[in-house]
Amino acid sequence: MRSLRIKVIAFAFAVSAFLILVRLFYWQVLAADKLVSMAVTQRESMTTTVSQRGEILAADGFPLVTNQEAYLAYLNRPDLKISPKLAAQNLAPILAPSLDEVVVASETPKAKQQETLVLATERNLEERLNNPETQWLALKHKINSQQKDALGALDIDGLGFSSEQKRVYPEASMAAHLLGFVGSNNNGEDTGYFGLEGYYDLELKGRSGIVREEKDVNNRPILIGNFFDQEKRDGRTLQLNIDRAVQYIIEKQLREAIVRYGAKSGSVIVMDPKSGAILAMAAEPVYEPAFFSKYPGEIYKNPNINELYEPGSTFKVIPMAAGLQEGLVTPETKCDICTEPYKIDKYVIKTWDDKYHSSSSMTDVLIHSDNIGMVFVAQKLGIDRFNEYLKRFGIGKKTGIDLQEEVAGELRLQWSNVDLATAAFGQGIVVTGIQMVQAMGAIANDGKMMTPEVVYRIIGKDKELTIQPRVAGQPIDKRTADTLTAMMVEAVDKGEAKWSKPAGYKIAGKTGTAQIPIAGHYDQDKTIASFVGFAPADNPRFVMLTKLRETTKSPWGSETAAPLFFNIARELFLYWGIPPSN
């Protein structure tokens, strides 16, 4: 019996010793890193100072984007002395989102809408406060000083605040697609998305200050302990080429044109062809960056740089420029295939109005926007030279504009005869709006093509950088540019859009109407109407593209996009004090 007890005791000691060894192995081997981390956490303290995000200024120095002091409201759950239900009831009216921040049913009275938001916030807070695992709650980010004072007046134990900053857009939705917005990334950090906020995020956000030091049991610094100090660097400020007055003009005119012509959407770009400076850029529908979460995600993208479309007849200036540069045609060259519809393989190509001009010169081809005349030019060029000039004019590659989300489109790898023919009048080939503006800018700038630039200067305490104009290429020479400019002036003066042109001004330009490809075929009722040009033609101050999608009043660019171009041009002539040419 005694022997059995000894064996049991011995076995118990053995098991205990084994369990102790297993536990020691766990702490010293498997959990070693965790223990070291816990020791470091107890011994070291880290203080972070958040950097101030840089502002975005218009050309005149007016802030298009700035910062406002804001706060994070939080709650230490163990310090809460009142019930979660009562705390939620007191907090919800102040923390509930406003009607500006969320999408609600528009037919519901506003008072009822806000009441619904408060009740939803109250339920959410109570549920979070009742969670037994909750120790610390972030109640709401980016509250203003009035909300902070109202919360402080509640005198709730455990309620606290930490400083943050809130992005403010003084002009509301103006230039929204250019600016982008600031949201939170997966780590809850402020991050720029789209437009300038996205493209220049690293410049704008700066670098937080960090102080990490060892402390003793009394929380006093250990003078010979580990120490790390990263100095805070506030974000750099961007000063743009954007002229607020021009931006206002194009946005107002674009909104009015969309209503007038019943368009689904529209866009405008204004650029200085000599420097590449983007003076204004707009798109409709638009959103408010301060309340970006209210809007569907697809509206954030800037269609001027992100939307590929078939340009239609505005594209005709590019193959015409190529033909002139190569000496294959002159303004007086007669088209000998323009007498009737033209057949290529099994396809028949017609003019847009089914009218044919037997003695058309190349200038007449632009005046009448003659598709067959452009086939004539394209065939003289041939596929290889045609493709080469597309590349020279930047078609199929990004312009390099300093905005996030630019796309390029792709040129065909294999070209058939009919592909060449249709591309000559802007169908079966895709571009972005900024590509068309850059290409037209080359014609306005003596054949020299510039890189589009939105930012003029980057300003910081540690550096200041002025962005210098960049030449992207020279697809044609000055003589060709001057010749084509004169032809385009005639196209404006004698073409379909002449009735809406400002009197006395020389404007070089081209209208375009392109059917929209849907499910493998072109829809006759859905078009993109556009006009691209520059003025004054003899000393261009601006190059501009106006584009309207799916207009209902008229499908033609000459009756929609061209009047929009000319209405904007009138205001620009007045604003810049440009007198008529004659």
Asked whether 514 and 310 are in contact (CB, 8 A), the reply is yes
Tell me the C-alpha distance between 30 and 36, whole Å: 12
* Same domain membership, residue 296 and residue 262: yes
pLDDT score for 248? 98
Residues 116 and 259 in one domain: no
> Highest mean pLDDT: which of 84-93, 214-223, 251-260?
251-260
Please answer whether residues 182 and 53 qualify as being in contact, where contact means their C-beta atoms are separated by less than 8 angstroms. Answer: yes
- Single residue among 167, 192, 220 that ends a domain in this structure: 167
Alpha-helical runs (H) found in 49-109 = 84-95
Contact 269, 278 (CB under 8 A): yes
125 in any annotated domain:
yes
With a cut of 60, say whether residue 39 has pLDDT above it: no
Q: Which two tokens stand for residue 191?
A: 């991050």
User: Which of residues 465 and 98 earns the better pLDDT score?
Assistant: 465
Per residue in 473-515, pLDDT (tens digit) is 999 999 999 999 999 999 999 998 888 899 999 999 999 999 8
Buried b (16+ CB within 10 A) or exposed e, 366-382: bbbbbbbbbbbbbbbbe
- Most confident range, picked from 90-104, 119-133, 185-199, 321-335: 321-335
Task: Give 108's pLDDT tier (boundaries 50, 70, 90).
Answer: low
- For the record, the structure tokens of 162 come out as 């930490």
Amino acid 135: pLDDT:
83
224 part of a folded domain: no
**End residue of a domain, out of 167, 197, 217:** 167
Task: List Cβ neighbours of 104 (8 Å cut-off, separation of 6 or more).
Answer: 113, 116, 117
pLDDT (tens digit, 9 = 90+) per residue, 114-133? Answer: 788 888 888 998 888 888 88
E strand or H helix at 563? helix 561-576
- 291 and 370 part of one domain: yes
Are residue 548 and residue 499 in the same domain, yes or no? Answer: yes
Together in a domain, 160 and 288:
no
Average pLDDT, the chain: 89
Rounded mean pLDDT of 104-118?
A: 70
Is residue 363 domain-shared with residue 314, that is, in the same domain? yes
Q: What is the SS3 assignment for 356?
A: coil
Point out which residues pair with 164 in neighbouring strands.
Answer: 70
Dihedral, 432, 436, 510, 328 alpha carbons, nearest 10 = -120
DSSP H helices in 153-211 = 176-179, 195-199, 201-205
- Give me the percent of the chain exceeding a pLDDT of 70: 87
- Secondary structure letter of residue 8 according to DSSP: H
Pairing of strands 56-57, 237-240: parallel
Residues 450, 510: one domain?
yes
**C-alpha span between 268 and 304 (Å, rounded):** 8
Q: What is the pLDDT of residue 558?
A: 93
178-201 mean pLDDT? 94
Angle between helices 110-129 and 84-95 (to 10 degrees): 140
Residues 491 and 561 in one domain: yes
Instruction: Quote the pLDDT of residue 211.
Output: 57
- Asked if the model's pLDDT at residue 519 lies above 70, the reply is no
b/e map of 109-135 (b: 16 or more CB within 10 Å)?
eeeebbeebbeebbeebbebbeeeeee
Q: 11-25, 305-319, 344-358, 537-551: which has the minimum mean pLDDT? A: 11-25
Residue 40 clears pLDDT 60, i.e. is over it? no
Q: Give the tokens for residue 553.
A: 């009043």
CA 235, CA 463: separation in Å to the nearest integer? 11
- Residue 515 confidence (pLDDT): 86
- Tell me: the pLDDT tens digits for 214-242? 655 555 666 555 555 557 788 999 999 99
In sequence order, the β-bridge partners of residue 450 are 471
Beta bridge pairs of residue 277 = 453
pLDDT of residue 378: 97
Number of domains in the chain: 3
**What is the chain's length?**
582
413 with 529, same domain?
yes
Same domain, 359 and 458: yes
* 345 assigned to some structural domain: yes
- pLDDT digits over 155-164, tens only? 898 898 888 8
Residues 6+ apart with CB under 8 A from 502: 566, 569, 570, 573, 580
Which residues constitute the domain of residue 248?
A: 244-576
Q: Is 272 within a domain?
A: yes
> Looking at 167, 188, 216, which one is the last position of a domain?
167
Q: Are residues 391 and 488 in the same domain?
A: yes
Residue 55 lies in a domain: no
Task: Clarify whether residues 280 and 159 are in a common domain.
Answer: no
Q: Is residue 179, in this structure, part of any structural domain at all?
A: no
Residue 163 is predicted with a pLDDT of: 84
Residue 347: inside a domain, yes or no?
A: yes
| Mean pLDDT to the nearest integer, 357-373 | 94
Residue 153 sits in a domain whose CATH number is 3.30.70
State the pLDDT at residue 112: 74
- CB-count exposure of residue 582 (10 Å: 0-12, 13-18, 19+): exposed
